[in-house]
Structure 1
Amino acid sequence: MNTYTFVRSVVAGVLKPFYRIKIIGLEHFPKEGGVLLCSNHIDNLDPPVVGITANRPVYFMAKEELFSVPLLGKLVPHLNAFPVKRGMSDREALRKGLNVLKDGKVLGLFPEGTRSKDGELKKGLAGAGFFALRTDAKVVPCAIIGPYKPFRTLTVVYGKPIELDELRSSKASAEETTDHIMNAIKQLIDQHRN
C-alpha cells in the first residue's frame, strides 16, 4: 500500500463520520482518462475531502509555502501534491498540471484560488480555463456544501462532465471557459443546498 492510499484511508476514517460526508453524483466521474476536477473552496479541509470522496487518486497544486512546513512538507509530495507559486504565472506548475492531465490522471483545482470567507462562490481564475482548453481532459464540476460542523452533514456533489466543444470551436478565452465552469459549480450548489 503506498503512502497516498494509506493516508487517504486514515483521513477518510476520521473525516467521513466526523462531518457525516454525503457524496452525490459519483457515477458521473469518468473511470479513466484525464479529468480536470474543479471545486468551490470553503475550507482548508476541501482538498482532503475531495481526495477521499473522488473515486480516483487526485493530484493537487498546493501553495508553495506548505512544502516548507516541518513534517507536512515531507508528507505533501507523497499525497500527489506539487507546489505552485501564488500570485504569479508559475510555468513549472502549469507544465506539471498539463502533464497530469495528458497522462490520463485527475487534476484537482479550486478555481477561486483561495478560500471564500463567507462561503459564497467567488469569480474563478483563468487557470481552470487554461487547463480545460489546452487538453482533452473531461472537466468535472464539484460542489462542497457545508458548513464544516462536527456531526452535521457535509455534502460533496459531482456533476456531469461539462460540454466544452462549443467553447473550444469558438476559440473562447481561458477566462470565458473558467466562467462557464464556475457557472456549472454554482448550479450544483443551488440545486443541492438545503
Structure 2
Amino acid sequence: MIYFLFYPIFFVVLRTLIRVLGRLRSSGEHHVPRTGGLIYCPNHTSDADPPTMFVTLPRRAWFIGKSELFEAPVFGWFFHHFHAFPIKRDSADRAALRRAEACLKRGEPIIIFPEGRCAQQGKLLRLQPGAAMLAVRAGAPIVPIGIRHTNEMLPYGSQRPRFSKHPVTVTFGAPIDPAKFADLPRGKAIEAITYELGLALAALTDQAPPPVDAPRERRPKRASSDAPVALHEDQIPDEAAAS
C-alpha cells in the first residue's frame, strides 16, 4: 500500500531531479518484452544508477540489494517498502534466491547489476554469473542496459549530485533469450549468456568488453547507498529452484 501511495511522488521528484541535473535521455524501450518475467542488467558506475533505473524502466521491477541497506534507519524503511528485498552477500541466501526466481516465474521483472559493485574507473568490470543462472532457471530473458554519464552527475564516493557535463543516457538493448542456449550443458549456457551480456553492455556503452577471468575490482568500505548486488554462482544452489 505504501509503495503504491508514494510511488508517483518519488517518481516525479527523482525524474525531475535527474532530468535537470543530467538532461536524461533514454532509448530502446521497444526491446523490453511487454509481458513475462525478465531480468534488467545495467552496467554500474555511480550511486545514481539505481534511481536512474527507477525512473526509466518501462516496466516496474524488483530491486535486489545487499542486506546492510535494509538495516539503515532511513534507507532501510525506503527499501523495505519500495519493491526491493535484501540478499546476504557472499553467502547462499536461499530465501532471497527463491524470491527472485519466484518473481520471474510470476511474470515480474527484477533488476540486477551484473558487475556486482560500482566501477570506480567507469570501465566494465568482470560480470558475475548470477543473472545468467536465474535466466536459465526461470527461462526469463535478460535485457542489457547501457548507462552513461551518471558518474558525472554523482561521482563515485560523492554525496552531492551536480550538473553532468554530458547528458545521462540509458539505452535498452535487445533481450538475450536463454532458450537460444538450451542445447548447451547448464554451466556452459551460463558462461555463454554471461559472455554475450558482456558484449552487449560494451556495445551499449561504447567501450571494450569486460574482462573474463580478471578478479573483481576492490573498493574501500564506505557508508553510502549501493546498488543491488550481483548474484554469485556459488550463491545459487540447486535447491533454490524449488518453489
Task: Report the TM-score, using the length of structure 1 for normalisation.
Answer: 0.91
Runs of 4+ in structure 1 displaced over 3 angstroms?
A: none
- 1:113 corresponds to which residue? 116
Q: 2:40·2:110 contact (CA, 8 Å) conserved in 1?
A: yes
Query: 167, 183, 188: which one pairs with 2:199?
Result: 183
Q: 1:111·1:127 contact (CA, 8 Å) conserved in 2?
A: yes
Aligned equivalents of 1:68, 1:164: Cα separation in 2: 35
Question: Which structure 2 residues correspond to residues 7-156 of structure 1 after superposition, within 5 A?
Answer: 7-146=10-149, 147-149=151-153, 150-151=163-164, 152-156=166-170
Identity %: 32
Q: Which has the larger Rg?
A: 2
Task: Report the TM-score, using the length of structure 2 for normalisation.
Answer: 0.74
Number of residue pairs the alignment of both structures matches: 191
RMSD: 1.6
Aligned equivalents of 2:177, 2:99: Cα separation in 1: 24
Deviation at 1:78, TM superposition (A): 1.6
Aligned equivalents of 1:5, 1:136: Cα separation in 2: 31
Deviation at 1:113, TM superposition (A): 0.6
Deviation at 1:172, TM superposition (A): 4.1
Which amino acid in 2 is paired with 1:75? F
Report which of the two has the higher share of strand: 1
Which amino acid in 1 is paired with 2:81? H
- 2:183 corresponds to which residue? 169
Gaps of 5+ in 1: none
Aligned equivalents of 1:58, 1:165: Cα separation in 2: 22
Q: Deviations over 1:105-160 (max 9, x none)?
A: 11001011111110101111111111110112221110101143314311110011
